[in-house]
Amino acid sequence: MKKTKWQALLGAAFLMATSAIGPGFLTQTAVFTAQLGASFGFIILTSIVLDIIVQLNIWRVIVVAGLPAQQIANKLVGGLGYFIASLVFLGGLAFNIGNIGGAGLGLTALLNIDTKYGAALSAVVALAIFAYKEATKAMDLFTKILGLLMIVLMLYVALTSNPPLREVAVNAIIPAKFDFNALLTIVGGTVGGYITFAGAHRLLDANISGTDELKAVNKGAASAIGIASLMRTLLFLAAIGVVSKGLMLDQSNPPASVFKLAGGEFGYRLFGLVMWSAAITSVIGSAYTSISFIKSFHPKIDRFHNLFVIIFILTSGAIFLAVGQPVKTLIIAGALNGLILPISLSLMLIAAYKTRIVGEYKQPTWLTAAGVVVIIFMSWIGYKTIWLLLN
């Protein structure tokens, strides 16, 4: 594989993974670990299987078609792509408000500065990425560096908290508890909404498309899920190490209390760095992917893509400074992304069998069948979750 292609694939994998690893990702993992204990390991394992199925189906269809998701949807039903694009764009904007707020909270913990100043400073960093002429290269490098940094720091905190590995291993196979909302939320937070499309759209921008690229795409998609799942597993181990000792997490900031209880004041400072890294990379991923969904609306959006990304980030920052973003909303946002997932995956599976979209490409039967199972499963979980919330 050529070096430039491998760099693009790795960049796409880290873009998708770091888009998933945001403030909501950290918050959801800490909250559900506190609620379910070691049984949350089973939900993580289940989610990994579902995530890989979703990612492979969506990335393969987009790359074979050589078209972004909204154009594929428009080819299925005229105007459908605009609806999907608008849905994903608004969801990305909502998430980005939380991402910028999370970046502010990270700098507050790391440098002890006001959250609003931290959010504004973080927005400036993100803007600088897209103001650079070679913005996509800068984005790839930035997400790779901070993605690796987060993994190293989380590994340190996980080891420091001394998790009960035997209990975790047993419950990962035979869980004592199960929660529908937890599974819906973390799958939605990993491959729901705009997130799963982030890497695929990045591959198109790197001119990686067609059936000849499928083997490379499979590696990139699996790598992306692997990176995100490794981060979630390490945070889970850190949290279960704290919870298993009978210590209570601070409900106002669950992931921060995991770091502080595991590593004291130094651990809290590390949380600030991890939180900022997770949030700022998610700001970049969300902004880039959300604009990639609407750039087919008008030629000028495609032509001035980076400018529109900058406007998107400025808008997200302004809204955060005006209204803020509470922890509960981050949990709900992940669940809503999980509800969007069956729709977007269904469209990609239908497109996989339309020759006017994918040409002579033959979708593997096992992959389609697995995708249908995920659609049914996630729709059922979504129904159960809504029913439980309403009753």
DSSP state, residue 208: -
Question: How far is it, in rounded angstroms, from Cα 139 to Cα 142?
Answer: 5
Using CA atoms, how far apart are residues 42 and 203, in angstroms rounded to an integer?
32
Domain boundaries, the chain: 3-390
Q: For residue range 40-78, list pLDDT tens digits in order.
A: 999 999 999 999 999 999 999 999 999 999 999 999 988
pLDDT (mean) for 183-187: 83
Question: pLDDT value at position 390?
Answer: 63
pLDDT in tens, 87-116: 788 778 877 888 888 888 889 888 888 888
Per DSSP (E only), the strands in the chain are none
How far is Cα 312 from Cα 122, in angstroms, rounded to an integer? 14
Lookup result for tokens 């790839």: 140
**CA separation for the pair 388, 391 (Å, rounded):** 5
What local confidence, expressed as pLDDT, does residue 326 receive?
A: 43
Give residue 311's pLDDT. 93
Q: What span, in angstroms and rounded, lies between the C-alpha atoms of 371 and 55?
A: 10
Read off the pLDDT of residues 227-279 as tens digits, 9 standing for 90 and up.
989 999 999 999 999 888 888 888 778 888 888 888 888 888 988 999 899 88
Cβ neighbour number for residue 210 with a 10 Å cutoff: 14
Which CATH code for domain 3-390?
Answer: 1.20.1740.10
Phi, psi torsion values for 114, nearest 5 degrees: -60, 140
The per-type count for the chain, helices as H runs and strands as E runs, is 17, 0
The answer to whether the CB of 341 falls within 8 A of the CB of 13 is no
Are residues 209 and 61 in contact, defined by beta-carbon separation less than 8 angstroms? no
Q: What is the pLDDT of residues 131-184, one digit of tens each?
A: 887 777 888 888 889 889 989 988 998 899 899 999 999 999 999 999 888 888
Report how far residue 242's alpha carbon sits from residue 33's, in angstroms, rounded to the nearest whole number. Answer: 10
Residue 56's pLDDT is 94
